[in-house]
Amino acid sequence: MSRQTSVGKSNSKTEQKLLLLENGDRFTRTEFERRYHAMPNCKKAELIEGVVYKPSPVRFTPHAEPHGLLITWLGVYRAMTPGVRLGDNATIRLDLDNEPQPDALLRLEESLGGQSRLTDEGYVQGPPEFIAEIAASTATYDLHDKKQVYRRNGVQE
Protein backbone atom coordinates (compact mmCIF):
# COMPACT_ATOMS: atom_id res chain seq x y z
CA MET A 1 0.00 0.00 0.00
CA SER A 2 1.55 3.26 -1.10
CA ARG A 3 0.90 6.52 0.69
CA GLN A 4 0.80 9.76 -1.26
CA THR A 5 1.91 11.92 1.64
CA SER A 6 5.57 12.82 1.25
CA VAL A 7 8.10 15.56 1.77
CA GLY A 8 10.26 16.64 -1.12
CA LYS A 9 13.86 16.62 -0.03
CA SER A 10 16.23 18.22 -2.45
CA ASN A 11 19.63 16.68 -3.15
CA SER A 12 22.25 18.30 -5.40
CA LYS A 13 22.06 15.39 -7.89
CA THR A 14 18.63 13.85 -7.42
CA GLU A 15 15.23 14.67 -5.99
CA GLN A 16 14.38 12.34 -3.09
CA LYS A 17 10.92 11.83 -1.66
CA LEU A 18 10.56 10.87 1.98
CA LEU A 19 7.30 9.38 3.20
CA LEU A 20 5.86 11.09 6.26
CA LEU A 21 5.15 9.43 9.58
CA GLU A 22 1.71 7.87 9.90
CA ASN A 23 0.04 6.10 12.83
CA GLY A 24 0.97 2.44 12.79
CA ASP A 25 4.16 2.77 10.71
CA ARG A 26 7.00 0.50 11.90
CA PHE A 27 10.53 1.91 11.99
CA THR A 28 13.85 1.77 13.77
CA ARG A 29 14.59 4.78 15.95
CA THR A 30 17.06 6.08 13.34
CA GLU A 31 14.49 6.02 10.52
CA PHE A 32 11.80 7.44 12.81
CA GLU A 33 14.05 10.42 13.69
CA ARG A 34 14.97 10.99 10.04
CA ARG A 35 11.32 11.23 9.02
CA TYR A 36 10.29 13.19 12.13
CA HIS A 37 12.93 15.85 11.42
CA ALA A 38 11.64 16.12 7.84
CA MET A 39 8.22 17.14 9.25
CA PRO A 40 8.77 20.52 10.95
CA ASN A 41 5.02 21.07 11.40
CA CYS A 42 4.51 17.79 13.28
CA LYS A 43 4.08 18.71 16.93
CA LYS A 44 4.30 15.22 18.43
CA ALA A 45 5.00 11.68 17.32
CA GLU A 46 6.32 8.79 19.39
CA LEU A 47 7.97 5.48 18.61
CA ILE A 48 6.78 2.73 20.98
CA GLU A 49 8.03 -0.81 20.39
CA GLY A 50 8.94 0.22 16.82
CA VAL A 51 5.41 1.54 16.07
CA VAL A 52 4.65 5.21 15.30
CA TYR A 53 1.94 6.93 17.36
CA LYS A 54 0.66 10.40 16.50
CA PRO A 55 -1.77 11.53 19.20
CA SER A 56 -5.04 13.32 18.52
CA PRO A 57 -5.42 17.04 19.18
CA VAL A 58 -5.45 17.80 22.92
CA ARG A 59 -8.69 18.84 24.63
CA PHE A 60 -8.70 21.19 27.61
CA THR A 61 -10.55 19.40 30.43
CA PRO A 62 -9.34 15.81 29.99
CA HIS A 63 -5.72 16.67 29.13
CA ALA A 64 -4.54 20.29 29.05
CA GLU A 65 -5.78 21.30 32.51
CA PRO A 66 -4.46 18.20 34.35
CA HIS A 67 -1.20 18.61 32.42
CA GLY A 68 -0.88 22.20 33.62
CA LEU A 69 -1.50 21.15 37.22
CA LEU A 70 1.04 18.33 36.92
CA ILE A 71 3.72 20.67 35.57
CA THR A 72 2.98 23.17 38.37
CA TRP A 73 3.34 20.45 41.04
CA LEU A 74 6.54 19.07 39.50
CA GLY A 75 7.91 22.59 39.09
CA VAL A 76 7.52 23.23 42.81
CA TYR A 77 9.25 19.89 43.54
CA ARG A 78 12.08 20.78 41.17
CA ALA A 79 12.51 24.23 42.73
CA MET A 80 12.86 22.65 46.18
CA THR A 81 15.13 19.74 45.15
CA PRO A 82 18.68 20.56 44.03
CA GLY A 83 20.00 18.47 41.14
CA VAL A 84 16.56 17.60 39.76
CA ARG A 85 15.61 18.76 36.25
CA LEU A 86 12.06 18.96 34.90
CA GLY A 87 11.05 18.31 31.29
CA ASP A 88 7.73 18.90 29.53
CA ASN A 89 7.15 16.68 26.43
CA ALA A 90 10.88 15.97 26.04
CA THR A 91 11.99 13.25 23.64
CA ILE A 92 13.64 10.30 25.40
CA ARG A 93 15.90 7.87 23.58
CA LEU A 94 15.36 4.68 25.56
CA ASP A 95 16.49 1.96 23.15
CA LEU A 96 16.52 1.22 19.41
CA ASP A 97 12.73 0.70 19.23
CA ASN A 98 11.49 3.32 21.68
CA GLU A 99 11.53 7.10 21.61
CA PRO A 100 8.61 8.32 23.72
CA GLN A 101 7.70 11.91 24.47
CA PRO A 102 6.04 11.75 27.91
CA ASP A 103 3.92 14.59 29.24
CA ALA A 104 6.44 15.27 32.01
CA LEU A 105 9.67 13.87 33.41
CA LEU A 106 12.06 14.45 36.26
CA ARG A 107 15.70 13.51 35.90
CA LEU A 108 18.51 13.61 38.40
CA GLU A 109 21.80 15.10 37.25
CA GLU A 110 24.34 12.43 36.29
CA SER A 111 26.82 13.76 38.85
CA LEU A 112 24.25 12.95 41.57
CA GLY A 113 23.59 9.40 40.34
CA GLY A 114 21.00 10.06 37.63
CA GLN A 115 20.38 7.29 35.09
CA SER A 116 19.95 9.52 32.02
CA ARG A 117 22.15 12.04 30.27
CA LEU A 118 21.63 14.79 27.72
CA THR A 119 23.02 14.13 24.24
CA ASP A 120 24.90 16.74 22.24
CA GLU A 121 21.62 17.30 20.32
CA GLY A 122 19.76 17.98 23.57
CA TYR A 123 17.79 14.70 23.80
CA VAL A 124 17.42 12.69 27.00
CA GLN A 125 19.34 9.42 26.57
CA GLY A 126 18.38 6.64 28.95
CA PRO A 127 15.66 6.42 31.58
CA PRO A 128 14.79 9.46 33.68
CA GLU A 129 13.91 8.79 37.31
CA PHE A 130 10.24 9.81 36.95
CA ILE A 131 7.80 9.93 34.03
CA ALA A 132 4.18 11.14 34.10
CA GLU A 133 1.56 10.68 31.41
CA ILE A 134 -1.90 12.25 31.22
CA ALA A 135 -3.73 9.26 29.76
CA ALA A 136 -6.93 10.84 28.47
CA SER A 137 -7.07 9.98 24.77
CA THR A 138 -3.89 7.83 24.80
CA ALA A 139 -4.77 5.43 27.62
CA THR A 140 -4.71 2.40 25.31
CA TYR A 141 -0.98 2.58 24.74
CA ASP A 142 0.07 4.71 27.78
CA LEU A 143 -1.17 2.08 30.23
CA HIS A 144 0.09 -0.95 28.32
CA ASP A 145 2.90 -0.75 25.74
CA LYS A 146 4.49 2.47 27.02
CA LYS A 147 4.25 1.36 30.65
CA GLN A 148 6.06 -1.89 29.77
CA VAL A 149 8.72 0.03 27.83
CA TYR A 150 9.30 2.35 30.79
CA ARG A 151 9.58 -0.60 33.22
CA ARG A 152 11.90 -2.59 30.96
CA ASN A 153 14.20 0.41 30.48
CA GLY A 154 14.51 1.20 34.20
CA VAL A 155 12.23 4.20 34.74
CA GLN A 156 11.79 4.14 38.52
CA GLU A 157 8.42 5.86 38.86
| pTM (whole model) above 0.85 | no
Range(s) for CATH 3.90.1570.10 in the chain? Answer: 60-152
* DSSP state for residue 64 in the 8-state scheme: I
pLDDT on residue 139: 77
Strands (E), the chain: 6-10, 15-19, 46-48, 51-53, 84-88, 92-93, 104-108, 117-118, 124-125, 130-132
Residue 98 binned pLDDT confidence (cut-offs 50, 70, 90)? very high
Q: Is the confidence at residue 100, as pLDDT, over 90?
A: yes
pLDDT above 90: percentage of residues in the chain:
68
Which architecture characterizes domain 60-152 according to CATH? Alpha-Beta Complex (3.90)
- Per mean pLDDT, which of 47-56, 58-67, 83-92, 145-154 is the most reliable? 83-92
Taken in order 86, 59, 147, 25, is the CA torsion positive or negative? negative
Asked if the model's pLDDT at residue 12 lies above 60, the reply is no
Q: Which residue has the higher pLDDT, 7 or 71?
A: 71
- The pLDDT assigned to 120 comes to 96
> Which amino acid appears at position 59 of this protein?
R
